[in-house]
Amino acid sequence: MQQAPETEQHHPQAPSGDNGEVPVFQLTDPELVRDQYGFFARLREKAPVWWAELPDGSRWLVPTRYEDIRKAHLDPVLRQKPDPEDDPVSDEEGGIWRIYNEHPVVSDPPKHTRLRKLLSAAFTARQTERLRPRVEEAVAELLDGLARAGADGEPVDLMESFAWQLPLVLICELLGVPEDRRGVFHEWSRNSRDFTGGSTHEGREEIAYRIIDVIKELVEERRVTPTDDLLGQMVLVRDADEGRLSEMELLSTAFIVLLAGFETSVGLIGNGVYALLRDPAQRALVENDPSLLPGAVEEFLRFDPSLFLTNVRISGAPTTVAGVDIRKGQPVLLSLGAANRDPERFPDPDVLDITRSATGHLAFGYGIHHCMGAPLARMEGAIAIGRLLERFPKLRLADTEELPFIPSPISRTLLKLPVLLV
């Protein structure tokens, strides 16, 4: 076996030593931001696993092949946190970001198992279907607004007016945030659009504090007057059996529902529409046979997921990833985008084909941390894209140039999507 560099056990990102035969690339390489898929395709052709070197000199192991990335998701040794006891970050260490440290997405068993079980009832297929009428209504309202904005033949930004708006409306509905208190949630959305492109950490943190204040207010209101929305259900779980869900876990989980719940759907809608508008043959298939939409959504998720590099894991004990021996404390970075474009798993991976079976893509992760909100995101995407094409059959791109994405090696979100409706 090839050996991973030595890593100091107390610091999972400590500078690494000799990298043996495993090649190295720079995580800050401009080409990675400019062309994520091409960059990883070139890496994959040369070696199945690489070290990603960070500016501080530390190295994260990065597999490039679908099967290695899938297996890494299932490896119980690769944890979300470096501490096997999964202790929360202290207030002094974490500040507001302690809120981001207590939800199931960044937790390991047994804590993850407990939290996911408590929340899973809110994300079943049955519960998702209950939201279908509201999704249809919200889509119709936003399309009415689009029609008014584009009636004079001027371009309309589909990201600003549709892709960013719909998921946020639905997440607020799911949590039970009344319209008169959604302003700060919209601020978070606007900040997210350029966060990786230059907005300040301080500004984002200030908005996060205000979101938590609103959530705290809503929690207290639900203790007086119970509701059947997700936040109301979480309050019932918290208060019915104290210890099953702590107050911090409640706040943290509500916060991550906002983050994860709308950003994935934004990318699905924006990237899916963009892909169709650049491929008239695939668009015609969907328009002529709407029953293809569910399969098309899976292909959109495979072809261009909203998260490209994600799921940093920390080895809680020695293990092996893609043939490389990993020591305890070594970070491993899993690329959903690279997995979904591996030709060994998906033939002609750089070709959009809504008739292919895209089952098995990793856009929502894999294993115990598979996204609980995936059914809702799929439904949102199918309704949003389907109704958009129905309402505006002459929909076309207003700009023939390649459109820019948020400049980040992590995400795949369009900065804008200017279209003409008539």
Catalytic residue annotation = 260, 263, 265, 371, 380
| HEC assignment per residue over the chain | CEECCCCCCCCCCCECCCCCCCCEEECCCHHHHHCHHHHHHHHHHHCCEEEEECCCCEEEEEECCHHHHHHHHHCCCEECCCCCCCCCCCHHHHHHHHHHHCCHHHCCCCHHHHHHHHHHHHHCHHHHHHCHHHHHHHHHHHHHHHHHHCCCCCCEEHHHHHHCHHHHHHHHHHHCCCHHHCHHHHHHHHHHHHHCCCCCHHHHHHHHHHHHHHHHHHHHHHHHCCCCCHHHHHHHHHHHCCCCCCHHHHHHHHHHHHHHHHHHHHHHHHHHHHHHHCCHHHHHHHHHCHHHHHHHHHHHHHHCCCECEEEEEEECCCEEECCEEECCCCEEEEEHHHHHCCCCCCCCCCCCCCCCCCCCCCCCCCHHHCCCCHHHHHHHHHHHHHHHHHHCCCCEECCCCCCCECCCCCECCECCCEEECC
